[in-house]
Amino acid sequence: MSTIVEEPKVATEEHPVAPFLRMDRIPHIWCPTCGIGTVVKCFATALEETKVDLNKTMIVSGIGCTGRVAGYMKLDAFHTTHGRAIPFATGLKLSRPELLVTVFSGDGDLVGIGGNHFIHAARRNMDMLVILVNNFIYGMTGGQNAPTTPLGARTSTMPYGNFERPFNLPHLAASCGATYVARWTSLHTRRLTKAFKEAIQRKGFRFVEAIAPCSTLYARLNRLGTGFDLMRFYHDHSEIRHGADPADVGIGFQDKIICGKFVDEERPTFTELMNEHYTKTLGDKYVPMPPEGGLLREPVHSPEPEEAVVTGRDDS
């Protein structure tokens, strides 16, 4: 008698979001059960479903585990310096206003070293979508304390537990002026995708926080089990509360995670305010940055040489 062993089924179909990824860079560097890949999948699905012009969609990352996202997405992709993704994206957006600019980075990058840029971009209502993957810890460097680490959680630099009060990120973003603020976990894939779709279609400073497991460091240092256990925790302890006051959605250690859409309002962006203001104050003399950017292409000649003018210091 012989036993017939079935050939193991090998996935031969292309991954549904493969066209959005640099497949020549896969496998990625993220650990098994890391939540970042799931967030990327949700974002790619949102890009697909909103049918945005991918040639005009930029992705900018800083440094860290989530900082690697730009490197895997088949868009114009910028892997910049630690904390500086938002100002880099500001330069991109202002000098080619037609672009859809997305910042995709981690908690340490965006609100630790980059915190000042985060609050000022929100204050200015700079037109960009900021996706922040929050895993409560510095992953790439080995599990150090983050500005998001819940009180009492252990990290490699708070071996006796964190005693620093963490940021409540939706509250931070909303109080600085973000026009769209939502939070989901990497378990809520459909809702997270929907949040990305909505945020892509809004304008202004849009902020989506995605809570994601770091089983290699955060879960191990805090004896929270495997990635699967963390997903179960999200399942059991997430509470959806759309429209909740962002001040009330802070996250305690192994406490409930309030998810939902907290802010969704329209306010003029930096560029709109600038255009409106200069049109009002300068009238016809105002020449805005062209949507396609400030690239000087063709030789432009003035018909006649300008008349010589003499100016003094005050004629600035």
Partner 1 sequence: MKTDPAGVLSGAHYLDGDFACGEGAMAAGCRFVAGYPITPSTEVVERISRRFPMMGGTFIQMEDELASMAAVVGASWTGTKSMTVTSGPGFSLMMENIGLAAMMETPCVVVDVQRGGPSTGLPTMVGQADMMQARWGSHGDYELIALCPQSPQEAFDLMIDAFNLSELYRVPVLLMTDECVGHMTEKVVIPPAEEIEIVPRALTAQSPEEFLPYRVDGNYIPEFARAGDGYRFHTTGLTHDERGYPVMSAECQEICVRRLIEKITKNADKIVRFDEEETDGADVVVVTYGITARVARMAIDMARERGVKVGVIRLIVVWPFAEKLIRELAGKIKGFVVPEINYGQIVLEVERCAAGKCATVSVPHGGGSVHEPDDICQAILGVAK
Query: Toward partner 1, which CB reaches closer, 233 or 270?
Result: 270
Q: Shortest Cβ distance from residue 129 to partner 1 (Å)? A: 15
Q: Shortest Cβ distance from residue 18 to partner 1 (Å)? A: 14
Phi and psi at residue 262, in whole multiples of 5°?
A: -100, -30
Write the single-letter amino acid at 307: E
Phi and psi at residue 261, in whole multiples of 5°?
A: -105, 120
Spatial distance between the Cα atoms of 55 and 47, rounded to a whole number of angstroms: 12
Query: Toward partner 1, which CB reaches closer, 204 or 227?
Result: 204
Q: Shortest Cβ distance from residue 270 to partner 1 (Å)? A: 8
Query: Toward partner 1, which CB reaches closer, 52 or 244?
Result: 52
Query: Toward partner 1, which CB reaches closer, 27 or 299?
Result: 299
Tokens at residue 246, please?
Answer: 């962002």
Spatial distance between the Cα atoms of 162 and 166, rounded to a whole number of angstroms: 9
Binding residues (CB under 8 A) for partner 1: these are 22, 24-25, 54-56, 58, 60, 70-71, 74-81, 83-84, 86-92, 94-96, 98-99, 116-117, 120, 274, 278, 282, 285-290, 292-302, 305-313, 316
Spatial distance between the Cα atoms of 272 and 228, rounded to a whole number of angstroms: 45
Q: Shortest Cβ distance from residue 307 to partner 1 (Å)? A: 7
Phi and psi at residue 271, in whole multiples of 5°?
A: -65, -40
Residues with Cβ within 8 Å of residue 25, at least 6 apart in sequence: 71, 72
Query: Toward partner 1, which CB reaches closer, 87 or 213?
Result: 87
Q: How many residues does the chain have?
A: 316
Which conformational region is residue 241 in: left (phi greater than 0), alpha (psi within -120 to 50 degrees), or beta? Answer: beta
Q: Shortest Cβ distance from residue 27 to partner 1 (Å)? A: 14
